[in-house]
Chains A and B, each alone.
Chain A
Amino acid sequence: MTIVLDSTFATAEDTAKALGVSKSRLKRLVRLAGPVAMKAERPAFRAGMRHAATSRRRGPGVTAKRKKQTRGKTKKAAH
């Protein structure tokens, strides 16, 4: 006898919830299932965009020189 299922399709989140898997572990496990998909979704991983993404993460206009200067000012203020 064939059973026609009418329940919702259990996603990884549903399964994790049913089995008592924590959210952080779920995140790690889902990464195992879809690293390719995750890369495709993020524009940073597209060819030629890696550089732009890296600079965005650092923040615009904050150079190493400026960082050094800031550290110096803080040092002076402390004295």
Chain B
Amino acid sequence: MAKRKRPRTDVFLNIPYDKKFERLFLAYIAGVSAFGLVPRATLEIPDSSRRLDKILNLIRDCKYSIHDLSRVELDRTKPRTPRFNMPFELGLTVAVRKRKRNMKENWYVFESVDYRLEKSLSDLNGTDPKIHDGRVSGVLGELCHIFRRRGRQPSVQQMRQIYREVRKNQSVILKESGAKSLYKARVFKNICVVASAWADRVVA
């Protein structure tokens, strides 16, 4: 009897979409792709009235999720408000995971500053956030602590190489997509495909 192919695994990336976060955005995609996982994000969802339902479906479809709360801070434009999307989507994820009895709690919180999560979101006390210090190497290192793959385990150097190659091709990808920002659906998808192609080549 032919062996059944195991399905691929999607990872929900709940990350901020701002200019200062671009390097870490690419690092998350490169890192997740290095493990042979498929990054997914709300960027894929077009703006519409049914957006919330689609976000919930996306969370349900993904086996793992990564929530970066490092940029839940006041913005510069008046009225100055923090972005609540990331904590809100983390809440949705926790609820979805808790609802399914057999589903493991495969969600991870990333932060850039130690002990800040305890202050900003004390409901998560007892959950150890992954501290990346706002650095690419921090993100890649913490991803290595979360995931392990038998056979094709990527090293941080290999993840870094994938990141570098994606970053090198950033302008070409933007041109191909006809966009100026990385935070567009088409650009996100293109970056994921390029990162996967590099991962398949680099991680032996």
Chain A contacts to B: CB under 8 angstroms:
2-12, 14-16, 18-21, 25-26, 28-30, 32-34, 37
Distance in Å: Cβ of B108 to nearest Cβ of chain A: 9
CB closest chain-B residue, reference A14: B8
Is there an interface contact between B198 and A7, defined as CB atoms closer than 8 Å?
no
Distance in Å: Cβ of A61 to nearest Cβ of chain B: 40
B residues near A4, Cβ cutoff 8 Å: 148-150
Question: A5, A16, A30, A33: which contacts B37 (Cβ < 8 A)?
Answer: A5
CB closest chain-B residue, reference A4: B148
18 contacts between A and B (CB under 8 A): A5-B9, A5-B147, A7-B9, A8-B5, A8-B36, A9-B149, A10-B8, A10-B37, A12-B193, A12-B194, A18-B38, A19-B38, A21-B193, A29-B176, A29-B194, A30-B193, A32-B169, A32-B197
A60 to B80: give the CA distance in the assembly, Å: 72
Question: A5, A14, A26, A28: which contacts B38 (Cβ < 8 A)?
Answer: A14
A residues near B189, Cβ cutoff 8 Å: 16, 19-21
With A19-B189, A32-B172 already in contact, the answer to whether A7 and B6 are too (CB < 8 A) is yes
With A5-B149, A7-B9, A9-B152 already in contact, the answer to whether A32 and B200 are too (CB < 8 A) is no
Is there an interface contact between B172 and A8, defined as CB atoms closer than 8 Å?
no
B155 at the interface (CB under 8 A from A): no
Is there an interface contact between B176 and A9, defined as CB atoms closer than 8 Å?
no
A34 to B200: give the CA distance in the assembly, Å: 10
A21 to B195: give the CA distance in the assembly, Å: 14
CB closest chain-A residue, reference B32: A10
Distance in Å: Cβ of A29 to nearest Cβ of chain B: 5
Question: A7, A10, A16, A28: which contacts B176 (Cβ < 8 A)?
Answer: A28
Q: Mask for B165-204, Cβ within 8 A of A = 1, else 0?
A: 1000100110010000000000001101111111111010
Distance in Å: Cβ of A35 to nearest Cβ of chain B: 11
Is there an interface contact between B36 and A3, defined as CB atoms closer than 8 Å?
no
The 6 closest A-B pairs by CB, nearest first: A9-B36, A33-B197, A12-B197, A15-B196, A7-B9, A19-B189
Distance in Å: Cβ of B39 to nearest Cβ of chain A: 8
CB closest chain-A residue, reference B188: A19
Is there an interface contact between B44 and A19, defined as CB atoms closer than 8 Å?
yes
B residues near A5, Cβ cutoff 8 Å: 9, 35-37, 147-150
Is there an interface contact between B38 and A10, defined as CB atoms closer than 8 Å?
yes
B residues near A6, Cβ cutoff 8 Å: 6, 150
Question: A25, A28, A37: which contacts B201 (Cβ < 8 A)?
Answer: A37
B95 at the interface (CB under 8 A from A): no
